[in-house]
């Protein structure tokens, strides 16, 4: 009889487990640092812009091959266990914009600390740098 009561309570979502009642959900702060373009997607320069979760947060800025641009002016962004963060890098074109690559951060893989990642797409190669800190 006890097992049936526990199973019913667990199924209803009312069973509390020891040690989880006061646990705060993890919160992460992400600071974009800079981008280096070893290979542009276009012939001369890429008009690079950055989106976080679909919202443009930087650019477009014209970046030539072998040039680095500072992204620290972008305010830090936050994510927690309820979601994820996608940071996507684009080259703006007169017609359709070209997606170069995306970095996805989750609580399961927050990539804590300083990160440098090479992304590529549509013949462009970008090295992107950012820092992730856990706040809670």
Which whole-number Å values give the CA distances from 7 to 1, 2, 16, 19, 21, in the listed order?
Answer: 10, 9, 13, 20, 19
Q: b/e for 89-124, b at 16 or more Cβ within 10 A? A: bbbbeeeeebbbbebebebeebbeeeeeeebebeeb
Return d(Cα 120, Cα 122) in angstroms, integer. Answer: 7
Fold of 26-134: Immunoglobulin-like (2.60.40)
Summarize pLDDT for 23-81 with one digit per residue, the tens.
678 999 999 999 999 999 988 899 999 999 999 999 999 999 999 999 988 999 999 98
Return d(Cα 128, Cα 115) in angstroms, integer. Answer: 8
Q: Indicate if the pLDDT at residue 87 is higher than 60.
A: yes
């Amino acid at each position: 009889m006890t097992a049936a009561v526990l199973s019913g309570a667990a199924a209803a979502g009312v069973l509390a487990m020891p040690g989880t009642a006061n646990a705060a959900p993890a919160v992460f702060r992400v600071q974009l640092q800079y981008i280096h373009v070893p290979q542009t997607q276009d012939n001369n320069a890429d008009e690079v812009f950055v989106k976080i979760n679909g919202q443009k947060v930087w650019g477009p800025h014209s970046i030539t091959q072998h040039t680095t641009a500072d992204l620290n002016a972008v305010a830090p962004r936050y994510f927690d266990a309820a979601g994820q963060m996608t940071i996507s890098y684009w080259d703006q074109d007169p017609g359709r914009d070209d997606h170069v690559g995306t970095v996805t951060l989750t609580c399961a893989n927050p990539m804590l600390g300083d990160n440098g990642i090479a992304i590529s797409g549509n013949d462009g190669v970008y090295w992107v740098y950012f820092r992730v800190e856990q706040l809670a």
